Structure 1
Amino acid sequence: MEHAFRADRDAYTIGIEEELMIVDPVSYDLKNAIESLLEASSDGEIKPELMESVLEIATHPARNTADAGVQLRKLRGQVRDTAASKGLLIGSAGTHPFAMWEDQRIVARPRYQDLIDALRFVARQELIFGLHVHVAVDDPDKAVYVANGMRVHVPILQALSANSPFWRSGRTGLMSSRTPIFRAFPRVGIPPRYEDWDHYCAEIDFMVRSGVMEDYTYLWYDVRPHPRFGTVEIRVCDAQTRVEHTLALAALIQAMVKELSERYDSGETLSDVQWQMLDENKWLAARHGMDGELVDLPVAEKVSSKTLARRLRDRLREHAQDLGSGDDLDGLTDLIERNNGAKRQIVVYEANQDLREVMAEIVAATAP
């Protein structure tokens, strides 16, 4: 399989993709209006997603989160202003609190129409919004090693980023309702462990030849090598309302990839962690967010999510500083001490039991 994992490119460059809501300014309902908002941007890409009420923005590769943050703020500002010129608003969270998937139109793009044809209800009800972070890696075997190693970090990233406590006008009891909604898709969640690049290619080739998918981009795992970009892509996070939280998570992910890459270079073997326990930790993170506990793998002991997040932040701080992302890593403290987006939504809701107030708060904080 062709790939862009090359030693002659800058390692650890970062790219950020955010899925945003298109919102009516009076009712705060979602609006099927993507085609009117698509336009060129010198600071990244503005693209459609599966549904006409969803907008994706993506930065160009950046050296660190400081550079990526400049792009991301401009992109959010651009789509905010474009939306305003059409009488619309932009919002960012893992789910819209009261929207119904039955009211959403599918974009007129062959990939997404084919996806609906293949997955039917499973794809139609996927009214969710995610944050994807790409980090460049300079060798294909290293990319597989890093993706394997990132699996143990998926649950804490889930807990930190949880930002979807409401779904279809109801409080679900989960901090990330987006997680079980997306779990209905095939080829999602914690990925299998691959031995090396050749093993990864052989597995993908078998799936393509068997006709279950067209290419590797139809693997929607929480973390995956992305051969065309030469990156490891982390896909587990809910979309973040505040841009500083997006950048804090991206800084943490970039530092994690750097740490794992250096372990690969030193010949260190990864711990063999049971898939079942990785999946269990992810469930605990989606259910409780930062208020719960996770199993501190590979040992069989529970630790609070906040303790684990603090430990990771402190351990990876030097890596983030080396990359120029140290200032944004400090944003994790806000997520840890003042809690994640899900808990903030719940606080707003509990004042008046009004989900439109929740959406108003989301819109106000997305692109101020």
Structure 2
Amino acid sequence: MPLQDFATSEPLTLGVELELQLISTHDQNLVPQAEDLLRETARHTGAWDIKPEIARSMIEIGSSIQREHGPLLAELRDMRDQLVHASRRLNIGIAGGGTHAYQHWSEQQIYPGERFHYLSDLYGYLAKQFIVFGQHVHVGCPNGDDALWLLHALSRYVPHFIALAGSSPFVQGQDTGFDSARLNAVFAFPLSGRAPFVRSWSEFGTYFDKMTDTGVVKSMKDFYWDIRPKPEYGTIELRVCDTPLTVEKAAALACYLQAICRYLIQERPFEPAEDDYLVYTYNRFQACRFGLDGEVVNPQTKQRSRLRDDIVRTLAKVDAHAVDLKSWDACQQIRDSLGEGNDATWLRRLHRTGMPLSEVVETAARRWSGA
């Protein structure tokens, strides 16, 4: 399949996708009822979208095209409320979080769909271990060249979003020591990680043709990069966030990204370079492992700093842009979360009080519902 032309989008528009857990109200484990929930929500009101994901115990919801924090948050809350109402009719719960705390991958069922079965056949048990839950954020770009520039410029901010969104400390009943254990499952795939350093859409087309000629890649969907271009939408897509435990956090993360993008585009504080990626994997690991307490290296100055401090400095740089975008409240929520800790911190805090993991999952589902 040849690479399609890059569609023109209004710059800095947003689209948010959230992968959600379907929870049994009996034992709080994942429950394979995606088909039932999709039937219950088939006639939902609103411009948002709901669709299946790779497992029958998860769904994905997607917002309409948004420009500002207020309308985005209102739509996400409407999604949540309608989903929660439908799930109660089915006697199931819905939760955020990047991983389920104690589900076992071998018990999961692949959703009946051609692509999902293709992935299961190709990746074997990795497909079931890929039953993790993330937030993806699309940012509109006017053309492919600008999209690739922004993609590479954003690379140094990837650890911010991993750390802020970290909500997957538990895997198969154990505390992994990671704030985002979810990304360890993603990294197992051969086409994950960073995008190649190409600066023009024509150059990217050459790379794409070489990859399809090998037979390894059939379409853009086969790339699981941390940030990837989506030519059919005219966007770049940030894919590193765990699904937050609330829609309020999801909206804040999206609008923090939007403010950074506006800052980068309008002020051009640096020019992306291949050497920016020398510390990329190290910085990403620090964010996954230690969250906001992780240490990152600035690829230009080689200076080290705590992620929490780097986010504070970045917020100061983008505040004026957030005001212009009407998303200052979102960035203030990000600022407040630096003291409170991320969702992984909240989940661990519950468990350390002696709460069993089943009750932790139940409490997280209540938090998602807005209760």
Shared fold (TM-score, shorter chain, > 0.5): yes
Corresponding residue to 2:300 among 279, 298, 301: 298
In 1: Cα distance, 2:295 partner to 2:271 partner = 27
Deviations 1:130-181 (A, max 9, x none): 0000010112100010011111111121111111000000011111110111
Contact 1:247/1:329 (8 A) holds in 2: no
SS at match of 1:26: coil
How far has the Cα of 1:56 moved from its partner? 0.6
Contact 1:94/1:178 (8 A) holds in 2: yes
How far has the Cα of 1:272 moved from its partner? 4.3
Contact 2:244/2:343 (8 A) holds in 1: yes
Partner AA of 2:29 in structure 1: D
Partner AA of 1:348 in structure 2: L
Give the aligned partner of residue 358 of structure 1.
360
In 1: Cα distance, 2:135 partner to 2:105 partner = 20
Corresponding residue to 1:256 among 255, 260, 266: 260
Q: 1:18 to 1:200 in 2, by over 3 A?
A: same
Give the aligned partner of residue 32 of structure 1.
32
TM-score by length of 2: 0.94
Contact 2:22/2:34 (8 A) holds in 1: yes
How far has the Cα of 1:271 moved from its partner? 4.4
Corresponding residue to 2:201 among 169, 175, 197: 197
Give the aligned partner of residue 141 of structure 2.
137
Partner AA of 2:252 in structure 1: A
SS at match of 1:99: coil
Give the aligned partner of residue 120 of structure 2.
116
In 2: Cα distance, 1:286 partner to 1:148 partner = 20
Contact 1:3/1:230 (8 A) holds in 2: no
In 2: Cα distance, 1:64 partner to 1:4 partner = 24
Unaligned runs of 5+ in 1: none
**Mean CA deviation greater in 13-22 or 65-74:** 65-74
Give the aligned partner of residue 86 of structure 2.
82
In 1: Cα distance, 2:143 partner to 2:57 partner = 38
In 2: Cα distance, 1:214 partner to 1:364 partner = 40
In 2: Cα distance, 1:243 partner to 1:44 partner = 14
Give the aligned partner of residue 335 of structure 2.
333
Instruction: Map residues 1-368 of structure 1 onto 2, 5 A cutoff.
Output: 1-6=3-8, 9-38=9-38, 39-41=42-44, 42-263=46-267, 269-368=271-370
Q: 1:319 to 1:49 in 2, by over 3 A?
A: same
Q: 1:271 to 1:212 in 2, by over 3 A?
A: closer
Partner AA of 1:18 in structure 2: L
Partner AA of 2:109 in structure 1: R
Partner AA of 1:119 in structure 2: Y
Partner AA of 1:230 in structure 2: G
Unaligned runs of 5+ in 2: none
Contact 2:153/2:271 (8 A) holds in 1: no
Contact 1:3/1:229 (8 A) holds in 2: no
Identity, in percent, stands at 28
**Mean CA deviation greater in 131-140 or 323-332:** 323-332
Q: 1:335 to 1:3 in 2, by over 3 A?
A: farther
In 2: Cα distance, 1:130 partner to 1:40 partner = 25
TM-score by length of 1: 0.95
Deviations 1:192-248 (A, max 9, x none): 211211111111121112211211121110101110000111001111002221111
Contact 1:294/1:305 (8 A) holds in 2: yes
In 1: Cα distance, 2:313 partner to 2:145 partner = 28
Partner AA of 2:34 in structure 1: I
In 1: Cα distance, 2:360 partner to 2:194 partner = 31
In 1: Cα distance, 2:65 partner to 2:146 partner = 19
Partner AA of 1:203 in structure 2: Y
In 1: Cα distance, 2:357 partner to 2:20 partner = 18
SS at match of 2:353: helix
Deviations 1:16-50 (A, max 9, x none): 00000000112111100000011243230011000
SS at match of 2:22: strand
How far has the Cα of 1:296 moved from its partner? 2.7
In 2: Cα distance, 1:235 partner to 1:140 partner = 18
Q: 1:269 to 1:275 in 2, by over 3 A?
A: closer
